Amino acid sequence: MDTAQAIADRRSIRRFKNDPVKRDVIEQLLELTIQAPSAKNDQPWKFVVTTHEAKTRLVKTLQAALEEADAQGQSTGSLRSSIRAMDEAPVIILVFNRIRRDDFPEPHNYAKLLVDTQSIGAAIQTFLLAAHDMGLGTLWICDVLYATDRIQEFASCSDELVAAIALGVPAESPQKRPRQEWQSLTTWMD
């Protein structure tokens, strides 16, 4: 598959087959993921790969967070449907930002957060495209941020949670989702 085709054909996948994904495939994907560019080549990403029993515990952790938020009348966005997709996917990868910003005074710490988050976004998109190229489906999930504390505790990781990626064999082939035309969002200055 060429790069343009992979970019054009990738879709968010929310239904997964029960098939496992082999560890060496996940390792290949992470090897490609870390080829992403990062500001100052800082490579701020950190990954926690969950499969099997650990993934089941992660989903239970999220369900508990959802129930608690519901009981307290707090908003949880689309967490419920994201949990359903995570429940089906055989692999969930938690993505953290391992760079501490405490040493950077205001407003540079905010700039550092933006910069490192962009680098991590590049890594996540690289993962998604590489997985698509291998015939696997992915979902980029930020709903996990509703349960940051619980996930940090689950993963024994005090780094900042950025997102999760669900990975598995797709059980759906969604149509292309709508996009605003780039022409309406682009100004030319010659």
* Contact predicate 165/138, CB 8 Å: yes
Q: Does 140 bind ligand FMN (CB under 6 A)?
A: yes
Read off the tokens for 96: 């953290």
Write the single-letter amino acid at 116. Answer: D
Q: How far is the CB of 53 from ligand FMN (least distance, A)?
A: 23
Backbone dihedral angles phi then psi of residue 148, each to the nearest 5 degrees = -55, -50
Q: Closest Cα to residue 89, out of 17, 145, 41, 158? A: 17
Q: Does 141 bind ligand FMN (CB under 6 A)?
A: yes
Query: From CA 17, how far away is CA 172, in angstroms rounded?
Result: 9
Tell me the three state secondary structure of residue 112. Answer: helix
In this chain, which stretch among 58-66, 88-96, 112-120, 141-149 interacts with ligand FMN, using CB under 6 A? 141-149
Give the DSSP letter of residue 93.
Answer: E
Q: Does 12 bind ligand FMN (CB under 6 A)?
A: yes
Q: Closest Cα to residue 125, out of 12, 27, 19? A: 12
Q: How far is the CB of 27 from ligand FMN (least distance, A)?
A: 24
Q: Cα separations (Å) of 153 from 12, 26, 83, 150?
A: 28, 24, 18, 5
In this chain, which stretch among 22-30, 46-54, 103-111, 133-141 interacts with ligand FMN, using CB under 6 A? 133-141
Looking at 59, 92, 95, 139, which residue binds ligand FMN (CB under 6 A)?
Answer: 139
Write the single-letter amino acid at 155. Answer: A
Q: How far is the CB of 178 from ligand FMN (least distance, A)?
A: 9
Q: Among residue numbers 60 through 89, which ones bind ligand FMN (CB under 6 A)?
A: 78, 82
Q: How far is the CB of 151 from ligand FMN (least distance, A)?
A: 13
Q: How many residues at the interface with ligand FMN, by CB under 6 A?
A: 11
Q: How far is the CB of 174 from ligand FMN (least distance, A)?
A: 6
Tell me which residues touch ligand FMN (CB under 6 A).
Answer: 11-12, 78, 82, 139-143, 174, 177
